[in-house]
Amino acid sequence: MSLNSALHRVIFGHKVIERLLITSFIGVGLVVPLASASSSAANQKKSAGAVDVLYAGSFLDLMEQHLGPAFHEATGYTVSGYSAGSSALASEISGKTLAGDVFISASPTVNTSLEGASNGNWVSSYSEFGLSPLVLGYYPKSKFAKDLLTKPWYDVVDLPGFLLGRTDPVTDPKGVLAVDALEGVALTHDIPALNGLATSTSNVFEETALVGDLQAGQLDAGFFYGVEASAAHLKSVPLTGTDLAAQYTVAILNRAPHEAAAKAFVKFLFSADGRSILKKYGVTPLVPPVVTKASAAASTTTTTFATTTTS
């Protein structure tokens, strides 16, 4: 599947949104004041229009089924979403072949490829707002399902005939974590076969296709974030022996064409209502979110939002 085939027509507000992503922008920074944020979005004045959100593929079901509709109901704005691997999205943004208002990544380091003049100065700051653990989702009718429930995952995934899926580490941070999990356990538990699974290309799938392939029974198991497993109702087991997780960040892209809608989306994401949705579907919110400015990225200096909302 090509990156462009990952474009999803999102039905929010009872109509199909098919927006053309444009390259004419209005300058905007990331920091959204939260001191006046209400614990309920019900009292916000309803607006009209759309916000183009470019987001990690692991947020696909959560965005389409929960966050997007809730944001529309609360504000009147409609989400026009484009979903793909975080690194692939950043590459498309940097190359000016993809444009939008808001960028959600599953790894803070991806944002650095959009910082500074040499990278187009698309991101001036970004906020880490949630964590979701890496898990092993499995097909419940797989002949290996019982083994996954009774044995450590690393003693099962290298069995003859086991079909394990992961994403490409070049385009998706989750693919990097999957390789880390396989290679780390291969070393600590002396299972050399796992190194082969970490380097094979036959088990690599497009991020936005991996959930469907598992649900269709084309795989016995695959690496997913907890948010994906929860939103797609996948059966999963923890990756015993690892402690790996997505670190979700959000940035309002500089020169975003829909500045007001972009700020409203980030404000909703950080609100009590937004955090409630995140928590319900497998993302542990960071309260307050942690903000990193591009000028401070090299020294890893961070600051935080001031917020009066509560969980």
Output the CATH code of domain 4-131+248-304. 3.40.190.10
pLDDT, position 258: 96
**Tens digits of residue pLDDT in 21-69:** 333 333 344 444 444 444 444 444 677 899 999 999 999 999 999 999 9
Phi, psi at 13, each rounded to 5°: 65, 30
Average pLDDT (72-78) is: 96
Query: Domains of the chain: which residue ranges?
Result: 4-131+248-304, 132-245
Cα–Cα distance list, 210 to 186, 202, 295, 302, 311 (Å): 24, 13, 36, 34, 32
> Which stretches of the chain are DSSP H helices?
60-62, 68-75, 86-94, 145-150, 173-188, 193-199, 207-215, 226-231, 259-270, 272-280, 294-297
Strand partners, 55: 83, 104
Cα separation, 29 vs 81, in Å, equals 20
Q: Find, among 255, 256, 250, 251, the residue nearest to 101 by Cα.
A: 256
Q: What pLDDT, on a 0 to 100 scale, did the predictor assign at position 79?
A: 95
Decide whether 4-131+248-304 matches 132-245 in CATH topology. Answer: yes
pLDDT computed for residue 32 by the predictor: 46
Q: What is the pLDDT of residue 23?
A: 33
Q: What is the mean pLDDT of residues 275-304?
A: 77
Statement: residue 204 has pLDDT above 70 = yes
- 132-245: CATH topology is D-Maltodextrin-Binding Protein; domain 2 (3.40.190)
Residue carrying structure tokens 């929860």: 230
Per-residue confidence (pLDDT) for residue 45, from 0 to 100? 62
